[in-house]
Structures are given as structure tokens and as C-alpha cells.
């Protein structure tokens, strides 16, 4: 391919090599899936992008120089506070970058890979996280992240998409493609905010582990066409969210572990009683048939997810977790259910019945 590409384009040699390497990588992983019996279409690249390395890209604090078809050029960044904080942190080694062109905005984006060595965080505290439809994420420490307009099937993009979906015309298809790009960015933006806040929550409760549910099960009770789109959307979104939590947590040495979520919404996080009638399907409120404990259903599930990690059998549990402590709003509970308040003057009862505080990811 090399000489072909050199003949047909003005790309510098290094960018030619990167371009076909990228195509080869995509093809390789597709062929791997075919060998595993998965049906998968041939890879395609719907947005133009170019891979840069040390020789073709120099990353400075506020600008970069890049090899282009018109020689080496210098460009200034348009930066947000988040990006600035990473560029100003000398502990990050700057590696490579990918230049993306977004047609709908007529703008270039430079994605930079940064490398930072971190040590695993000591300690045995676990924060449980429940991912669900109503709230996007709820933690065992009582933080709710509702994601604002991220309510599945109710936001603007979803409604427009649904109206276009049935139409088989070329303009409708183009509109759909443009929309899904914008929609994905809208959702990803919210998920970035939520994952960042989740990791901050874990840090503020001194947690070394975040327990999340293993996303292998397919969500039930969704049969209609609308529901299928919704399911695809949120399966994708939840996978993205878990990946974001994992790499954002890794920066602070916090490990993300997944646990089996079976019956986590039906089980009482206080006494362990499991019943399909513990939780009100309409309101999502949880009231235990056995011990009478009541709280928000997703909050209850988050505590169960966290507890699952504490009760993973010896040998399969993460090394370093020890006996483990589940972080709650103002204290911890161990695998046997023994509660330790952070502030000894507070009683155990207050933790167990307290209403969780609500946090919205809107406008952050
Ligand atoms: Zn109970």
C-alpha cells in the first residue's frame, strides 16, 4: 500500500504508514471476530482522522506543530479548563495524538495520549455503584447522578431519531448519521461529567475500590421497536460509562471491579432478604418485607453491588482488599453487616434510614 498511497496522495511518508497501519489493525480485529463466529461488517471510517507520533507531532502547552500535506504547521489549541489542567501537569508524559476532522462543525480536534505512572491506592474501602435507567448512577455513599436530559427516550435527539428511523430515503439517512454523531457527543459529554463526579465521590470517601455491575446481562422488559433502540443506546452508554470510570479512577490508583448484579435490586441491603415484592416497580421505592427497612431502590442496589465485592470468595477477591469495608454516607459496614460510623457521635440508625442527597450532573 505504501507506494500506492505516496503516489495517490500528498501525505508525508510517516502519515502514509500510520494510515495503512490503522486500516490493517481494524481489519485484523474484524477477522478475529469472524474467526470467533461473530458476524461483523467490514470496517469503515466515517470521520477522517490521522495518527501522529513524536516525529510528526510536537505537543506544546498551548499549541502543537503537525506534519501536513503543506509541510509543518503550527496551530494553537482552543482549550477548556479540563484540557488545560492536564497540559499544565508535568507528571504526564505526552505520547502521541490523533487528529480528527468533524465535518458538521468544520473543525479539527487533536486527541492526545498522556502517560502517567500511578501507584495503587492502599486501603480496603469499597464504593458500590448502581447503573440504571431512572438515575444514571447511584452510589452506596448516597450520591445520585441523574444526568439531566439523559433520560432515555425522552431527550430531543431520541425523538428526532425515532421520527427519521422508519424513512428509507437518502436525506433521512444522512440526517440520521449527522444526528447520531451529535447525539453520541451529547451523551458522552454527560457521561464524562458523571464518571468524573463518581471518581471524586470515591476519593472523598477514601475508597480504593469501586464496585460496578458486570454488564453481561441484557436488560429485560423491552420488546417494542422503540425499546430496542433505547436498549442499544443504553447498553452502549453504560459500557462507555464503565470504561470512563475505570480510566478516570486509575489516575488515582483506584481499582474498578465488576460483580454479579443478580437480584441486587430485589435484595434488602440491611438484612439480606430477597423478594420480588420488596421493590415497588412503579416508584422504585424499596421496602423490605422482612425487616421493614426502606430507602430509594437504586440506592439500595448500590449498597448491594458494593457488598458483593466484600463477599467474593477467597482466591477470587482482589488482592489487597482484605476484609473490606463498604463506604456509606457517613460510615462503613463490613461483610458481616457491622456498621462503623465515621463520626462516633452519630448513631447507626441515622445512616440506615437517612434519605440520600441528590446531585444532578446538569450544568457541570
Ligand atoms: Zn430487610
Least-confidence region, from 110-114, 171-175, 202-206: 171-175
Find the Cα–Cα–Cα–Cα dihedral 326, 327, 333, 336, rounded to 10°: 0
Domain match, 145 and 26 both: no
CA 273 to centroid of ligand 1, rounded, Å: 5
Domain match, 97 and 198 both: no
Angle at 182 between CA 62 and CA 154, to 5 degrees: 130
Does some domain include residue 312? yes
CA 143 to centroid of ligand 1, rounded, Å: 22
- The residue from 89, 115, 141 where one domain ends is 115
CA 312 to centroid of ligand 1, rounded, Å: 21
CA 304 to centroid of ligand 1, rounded, Å: 12
Average confidence (pLDDT) over 134-146: 87
Residue 362 pLDDT grade (very low, low, confident, very high; cuts 50, 70, 90)? very low
Does some domain include residue 288? yes
Does some domain include residue 134? yes
Domain count across the chain: 2
Structural domain boundaries enclosing 35: 2-115
Average confidence (pLDDT) over 249-259: 94
Share of the chain above pLDDT 90, in %: 48
Residue 50's contacts (CB-CB under 8 Å, 6 or more residues apart) are 15, 18, 19, 98, 99
Tell me how far CA of residue 184 lies from CA of 111, 150, 168, in angstroms.
17, 11, 22
pLDDT at 230: 67
Residue 95 pLDDT grade (very low, low, confident, very high; cuts 50, 70, 90)? confident
Q: Which helix (H) or strand (E) holds 150?
A: none
Residue 45's contacts (CB-CB under 8 Å, 6 or more residues apart) are 26
Chain position carrying cell 474484524 = 30
CA 221 to centroid of ligand 1, rounded, Å: 26
Domain match, 312 and 271 both: yes
CA 337 to centroid of ligand 1, rounded, Å: 12
Residue 157 pLDDT grade (very low, low, confident, very high; cuts 50, 70, 90)? low
How many Å separate Cα 278 from the centre of its chain?
Answer: 29
* pLDDT value at 98 more than 90: yes
pLDDT tens column, 312-340: 888 888 888 888 999 999 899 988 888 89
Residue 27 pLDDT grade (very low, low, confident, very high; cuts 50, 70, 90)? very high
CA 288 to centroid of ligand 1, rounded, Å: 5
CA 331 to centroid of ligand 1, rounded, Å: 19
CA 64 to centroid of ligand 1, rounded, Å: 59
CA 329 to centroid of ligand 1, rounded, Å: 19
pLDDT at 155: 62
Average confidence (pLDDT) over 270-297: 92
Q: What is the pTM of this model?
A: 0.73
Residue 165's contacts (CB-CB under 8 Å, 6 or more residues apart) are 176, 229
How many CB atoms within 10 Å of residue 16? 18
For residues 353 and 293, give the distance between their C-alpha atoms in angstroms, rounded to a whole number: 7
SS3 283: coil
Does some domain include residue 204? yes
CA 357 to centroid of ligand 1, rounded, Å: 22
Amino acid at each position: 500500500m505504501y507506494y500506492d498511497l505516496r503516489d495517490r496522495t500528498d501525505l508525508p511518508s510517516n502519515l502514509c504508514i500510520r494510515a495503512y497501519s490503522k486500516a490493517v489493525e481494524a481489519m485484523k480485529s474484524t477477522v478475529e471476530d469472524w474467526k470467533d463466529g461473530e458476524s461483523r461488517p467490514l470496517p469503515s471510517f466515517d470521520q477522517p482522522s490521522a495518527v501522529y507520533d513524536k516525529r510528526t507531532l510536537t505537543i506544546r502547552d498551548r499549541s502543537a506543530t503537525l506534519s501536513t500535506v503543506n509541510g509543518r504547521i503550527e496551530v494553537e489549541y482552543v482549550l477548556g479548563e479540563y484540557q488545560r489542567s492536564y497540559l499544565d501537569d508535568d507528571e504526564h508524559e505526552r505520547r502521541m495524538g490523533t487528529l480528527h476532522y468533524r465535518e458538521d462543525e468544520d473543525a479539527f480536534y487533536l486527541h492526545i495520549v498522556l502517560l502517567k505512572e500511578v501507584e495503587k491506592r492502599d486501603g480496603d474501602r469499597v464504593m458500590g455503584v448502581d447503573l440504571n435507567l431512572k438515575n444514571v448512577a447511584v452510589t452506596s455513599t448516597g450520591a445520585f447522578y441523574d444526568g439531566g436530559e439523559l433520560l432515555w427516550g425522552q431527550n430531543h435527539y431520541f425523538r428526532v431519531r425515532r421520527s427519521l428511523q422508519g424513512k428509507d430515503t437518502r436525506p433521512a439517512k444522512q440526517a440520521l448519521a449527522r444526528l447520531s454523531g451529535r447525539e453520541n457527543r451529547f451523551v458522552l459529554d454527560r457521561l464524562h461529567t458523571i464518571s468524573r463526579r463518581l471518581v471524586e465521590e470515591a476519593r472523598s470517601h477514601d475508597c480504593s475500590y469501586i464496585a460496578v455491575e458486570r454488564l453481561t446481562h441484557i436488560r429485560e422488559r423491552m420488546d417494542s421497536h422503540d425499546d430496542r433502540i433505547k436498549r442499544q443506546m443504553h447498553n452502549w452508554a453504560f459500557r462507555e460509562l464503565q470504561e470512563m470510570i475505570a480510566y478516570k479512577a486509575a489516575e488515582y490508583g483506584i481499582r474498578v471491579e465488576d460483580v454479579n448484579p443478580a437480584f441486587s435490586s430485589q435484595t434488602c441491603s440491611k438484612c439480606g432478604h430477597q423478594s420480588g415484592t420488596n421493590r415497588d416497580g412503579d416508584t422504585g421505592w424499596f421496602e423490605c418485607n422482612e425487616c421493614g427497612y426502606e430507602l430509594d431502590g437504586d440506592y439500595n442496589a448500590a449498597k448491594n453491588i458494593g457488598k458483593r465485592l466484600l463477599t467474593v470468595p477467597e482466591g477470587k477477591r482482589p488482592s489487597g482488599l482484605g476484609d473490606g469495608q463498604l463506604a456509606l454516607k457517613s460510615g462503613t459496614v463490613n461483610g458481616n453487616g457491622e456498621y462503623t460510623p465515621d463520626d462516633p457521635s452519630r448513631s447507626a440508625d441515622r445512616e440506615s434510614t437517612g434519605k440520600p442527597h441528590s446531585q444532578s450532573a446538569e450544568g457541570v
